[in-house]
Structure 1
Amino acid sequence: MGTRLRQAILLLSVAVGLFTGGWAGFAPHSFYSSFPGLTHAWVAVDGPYNEHLIRDVGALYLGLAAGGIVALLLKDPSGSRVLGGAWLVFGALHVGYHAQHLDLLDPIDAWGTLLALAGCLAFALLLLPARRRPAADATAGRHEHLAASR
């Protein structure tokens, strides 16, 4: 994957993390009663309000956003792969839960939930692969570095 595409996906993951995490972390009752907004409520249908749980969700998303910011600053595909792995674990479990509870939502919200969560899984999967240098190049680079440092 090219650097610009990787950076765009990282920026998207940061935006999702900041939006969702900021809302849940700093306005938990509003998040509970009206996420994702625009007269829809995907969280409130799933049980009673729990401020601790909602704030923890916010912290999780903000942590993923922070990881995305670090990966952007590192400008190294390995940071993107680590973030992709984190989003993949979280996203797979998250979409798995919601896929089993679609009956709580009307059909439009059920599809919206699945599409939003599938989007997060998609950028997780896109961040995972990265080009690897052939072993000979990597070894040569290490030898050159060692020789230069002597």
Structure 2
Amino acid sequence: MSLTGRRVVLWFLSALAAVIGVWSMVFPLEWYETFPDGSATWGFGPWIRLDGPFNEHLIRDVGAMYLALAGAGTVAALSRSLTAARAVAVAWIVFSAPHLVYHLGHLHGLATLDAVAEPISLALTLVLPIPLLFGAWAKADAQAAPPTTSGCA
């Protein structure tokens, strides 16, 4: 994957995480009642509300976690570090895999559109970071690395 491709993936994931993070931190009840689209305009039903009672603490914690992903993704997108990109990819995969598995087992109560859209959207956050784990960006990483000394005087 090229440096540009890597940055596109990182910026997309960071923007997604920032929107979810800010929304759930600033307006936790609205997020709980209207996620994923904030209204019925797009035809989606409320995904979070069907999964249990409102818990402001839990929702704000989820928001903080998404903001952490957004922050780390932003740093990785701005840097040329393969290690930073890989760390962000691992964080997204570790979060997204069990998140997707949980929701695949809890689709009951969702309208057909929601039962299709929810797993697809969750799978994207699992699949998109995978290419960040692979590839050699030696030139980009060499440019970002500080000069080394041989230790000889």
Work out whether the TM-score is over 0.5.
yes
- In 2, Cα distance between the equivalents of 1:149 and 1:15? 46
Q: Which residue of 2 aligns with 1:30?
A: 30
The answer to whether structure 1 residue 145 and structure 2 residue 137 are counterparts is: no
Moved over 3 A (4+): 147-150
Q: 1:146 is matched by which residue type in structure 2?
A: T
Contact kept, 8 Å, 1:24 with 1:55, in 2: the verdict is: yes
Counterpart of 1:94 in structure 2 is 99
Cα displacement (A) at 1:4:
0.4
Are 1:20 and 2:20 counterparts? yes
* CA RMSD in angstroms, aligned pairs only: 1.9
Residue deviations 1:45-102 (CA, integer Å, cap 9, x gap): 1111000111111011000000101112222111010000000000001001100001
The worse-fitting range, judged by mean Cα deviation, of 73-82 and 3-12 is: 73-82
User: 1:3: which partner in 2?
Assistant: 3
State the TM-score, normalized to the length of structure 2.
0.85
Q: Which amino acid aligns with 2:148?
A: H
Aligned length: 141
Residue 5 of structure 1 aligns to a residue in which SS? helix
**What is the CA–CA distance in structure 2 between the aligned matches of 1:22 and 1:122, rounded to whole Å?**
23
Task: Structure 1 unaligned segments of length 5 or more: list them.
Answer: 139-143
Instruction: Give the Å deviation of 1:132.
Output: 6.8
Please, which moves more after superposition, 71-80 or 14-23? 71-80
* 2:82 corresponds to: 77
Query: Is residue 118 of structure 1 aligned with residue 123 of structure 2?
Result: yes
Q: What residue ranges of structure 2 are gaps of 5+ in the alignment? A: none
- Displacement after TM superposition at 1:130 (Å): 3.1
One-letter amino acid matched to 2:12: L
